[in-house]
Structure 1
Amino acid sequence: MAFNDFINYKCEYRKGLVAFLDILGFKQFISCAHPSDIYSLYMLISTNYEISLNNNINIAVFSDSIIITSEDVNNTNFMSACYLIINQIYWNFGLFVRGGISYGYYYCSNNISFGQAIVDAYLCEEDAKDIKIAIDKKALPFIMKHYSWCLDQEDEKYSINQFIFQNKIFIEMGKEAFKAKNLDIEKTFKLDRENIIYLLRKYSNTSLYSKYLWMLKSFNNFCDYLKQHEIFMEKIKIDEI
């Protein structure tokens, strides 16, 4: 395509949900990791491209930022795509991801992304501070419609409770699973608990402590949620560090 073709190309904004995800600790990862590991990280994310397109979701990546968009505000695969990538990055590379979700006009095609909704999602992520996906007020009505069951609220700000969202399938089958003494499910929750306690102790005297403290609050909210659904586990809730 000639330069003049690009100049004369007319693109139109779309309107929908936008997630801006930020890989935390990426600078340190870049400075320490082998180029093959960095390449593997990007290839891992790219494995979601085709699946996402088939579900009316677009993904764009640049440096430590990932943008996920969908025109369909009722597309429940949108949030699933966000957490699929978050989990892939955490479990394979030990890196946390923080995000923000907004709603509005954007352009996203062939790894090119821009628009006010992307800016708003970025500002929402930046304001979140803690390790979570924060919800912008423009996106809240649509997120509330499908995800009110896994929202945390603090000072009129909303975010997705990752533990409730990711373990929804366990909650839905929870009573039967725990009656059948499915120890794998309980083991998963205990690993989450142990990891949070480990991180809080490790970073107790650093600026990162408050970020992991949010994970403790979110996890305990999840434990309360389980109790409300009559799913009980002994010594899961974190009472003290």
Structure 2
Amino acid sequence: MSLSTKADGAYLALRRAIVEHALKPGTKLPEDKLAEQFGISRTLVRAALARLAADGLIDIGNKRTAAVARPSLEEARAVFEVRRCLEAEVVRLVIAKWKPSMGTALEAHVREERAAAAERQATASIRLAGEFHIKLAEMAANPILQRYLDEVATRCSLILAVHGRPHSSECAISEHRDLIKALRGGDSNKAVALMQAHLNGIEERALLPALANDEEELAVILAPYAGAAGSGS
């Protein structure tokens, strides 16, 4: 595995751990422990952390100490304002470019969400709920829009970890299915309205008083993610 691939693997593993709420807001990310966990140099760890900081997922202090970010309520509201604008345009573009294969792919994704919910896989449910929106952005076939939506959706997951109540997989699945139906029907106004209502519901769940976070050993949390990164999965 090349050095760049190892750095990418560490970045993706840490990103996923944050998205799935395994790494909670405020968790310290010491370079030496991460280097040992992923089997890479501290230089490569710094590169991965810099990318996460650019994504708004971690904060790096004056002494280069990194920690999972804790977005404020003001920042959270701003993120959701941007997300509503982006996702409305995603819906319009997807309808304009609609193909039956898109519906098939989205329905397959919702089945994954349903399976994760049935097996009570909370972390997978959180990740899959966000990936549904990223998949829609891919279908819009606008790389710039996709990049911004990816970043905003990921930051919303972090916001939920700071301020929200537990993820409601049933709400997400039902609302995603309704949205697919509107997309398939080519009803742009209805699809945009459903998306806005869906995002408003997510925001309502997100912008609640901060929850207490239990501290857990960093190595224990990251072990499965580091293993996946090392195997290239």
Give the TM bin, normalised by the shorter chain: under 0.3
Higher-strand-fraction structure: 1
* TM-score (structure 1 length as normaliser): 0.26
Rg larger in structure: 1
Structure with the bigger RCO (C-alpha within 8 Å, sep 6+) is 2
